[in-house]
Amino acid sequence: MTPRLIIFFIAVAGYAAYQLSGLVHKPQLIIADPTDGAALAAELVVIRGRADGVTKLTANDEPLMLDENSAFETKLLLAPGYNIIRFSGDDRFGRTIEKKLQLNYKDKTHG
């Protein structure tokens, strides 16, 4: 076998391993702030997190943008009382990861 042929096969194997690595690593969705179940005194909440291996991310069916580090940040208005924000992310293989964030907004004007 010639050295060029060996280099070609190594390159093809490396590329195939890179492409298939996504099958081994499932997408991850981490909500860093606020914590699930938090009681908040303000109706405007800033939600921050990471979506590793995700190509499409939504919060309550609204698209979110990911930065180059797979991080996201979004601002939402909460209704008084119990709120659920549903996150959904898809990877390039069509796998979906879902997570919900439960928050309680204690509106001071309505008790």
Domain borders along the chain are 26-110
Residue 97 pLDDT greater than 80, yes or no: yes
**CB within 8 A of 77, min separation 6: which ones?**
43, 44, 45
Element (H, E) at 29: strand 28-33
Residue type, 94: G
Q: What does pTM read for this prediction?
A: 0.74
pLDDT higher at 7 or 38: 38
CA distances from 15 to 23, 24, 28, 33, 53 (A): 14, 15, 23, 36, 18
Beta-strand ranges (E) seen in 34-95 are: 39-40, 44-52, 56-59, 62-64, 71-77, 81-90
> What topology is assigned to 26-110 in CATH?
Immunoglobulin-like (2.60.40)
Q: What is the mean pLDDT of residues 74-85?
A: 95
What does the pLDDT read at residue 18? 61
Q: Which helix (H) or strand (E) is 102 found in, with range?
A: strand 96-105
